[in-house]
Amino acid sequence: MIIRWPGLPGGRRDDGLHHNLDLAPTLADMLGRPPMKSWEGWSYAASLLRGEECGREFLVLSQCAHVCQRSVRFGPSAAAEQMALGRWLYIRTYHDGFNLFPDEMLFDIEADPHEQVNLADERPDVCKDAVYLLNEWHDAMMKTMDSPTDPLWTVIREGGPFHARGQLKGYCKFLESTERAYAIEELKRKHPGEFGATVNPLDYAHKTMQESLVKKFQNKLEG
């Protein structure tokens, strides 16, 4: 984002972590107006006007349109002279929208800005830090919401992203016709409810957790 403002010195770069919703309180602050009580954003006017560090410790991003995922951007830069720039991007997938994403993905944005190398199996320590931050954020959100229900889990209980519901059988036929049938068995394993199977959410969660732990243990032995 490029911001031009009367009296604002040019050439200043803000490397702090900010949400889009931080822009409104920032503009209000720069105009000398109080923010609306309903706004959840934080002003970073101090960074723009005086170069002060006022970024967030971490960012959490949610999306439920094409897949159901939550991501955490966090962590210090590898450069010792720089503050927290969000080196790590952790992505947790709750419903993959039939894209067969792994449950956990971790990317080193400094070394891999195009997010090509998933480090989740190699750096479980960083994943644990990310999950802790995600839980902290989730607790804070649930304590301040009017509704007792997390909207992401509403989408999941409804069958996942709207475009995907009830479409897996047809998608599997399409995969067969385009010589990509190799993905069908894994899709059936991950989404048995799309094929009429009755799924106990707790059993499915327990099975998924076991598979994840076994995979990490195997990777550790191989390493």
| Cβ(23)–Cβ(61) below 8 Å | no
| Cβ(216)–Cβ(124) below 8 Å | yes
Is pLDDT above 60 for 202?
Answer: no
Report residue 95's pLDDT band, with 50, 70 and 90 as the boundaries: very high
Tokens (6 digits) for 39: 């706004």
What's the pLDDT score for residue 200? 53
Provide CATH 3.30.1120.10 ranges for the chain. Answer: 58-152
| Cβ(116)–Cβ(100) below 8 Å | no
Once rounded to an integer, what is the mean pLDDT over residues 152-163?
A: 89
| Cβ(45)–Cβ(30) below 8 Å | yes
Tokens (6 digits) for 102: 């792994």
Whole-angstrom distance, CA of residue 87 vs CA of residue 18: 14
Whole-angstrom distance, CA of residue 94 vs CA of residue 104: 9
Whole-number average pLDDT of the chain: 85
| Cβ(166)–Cβ(159) below 8 Å | yes
How far does the chain reach from its first CA to its final CA, in angstroms? 42
What's the pLDDT score for residue 81? 43
Which one has a higher pLDDT value, 48 or 71? 71
Is pLDDT above 70 for 98?
Answer: yes
Whole-angstrom distance, CA of residue 223 vs CA of residue 216: 10
Which residue, 99, 95, 96, 90, is CA-closest to 120? 90
Which of 18-27, 51-60, 180-189 shows the lowest mean pLDDT across its residues?
51-60
Once rounded to an integer, what is the mean pLDDT over residues 168-184?
A: 94
Tokens (6 digits) for 100: 């067969």
For the segment 118-154, what is each residue's pLDDT rounded down to a tens digit? 999 999 999 999 999 999 999 988 988 888 889 999 9
Sequence-separated (6 or more) residues with CB below 8 Å from residue 8: 48, 49
Under CATH, which architecture does the 58-152 domain have?
2-Layer Sandwich (3.30)
Which one has a higher pLDDT value, 104 or 207? 104
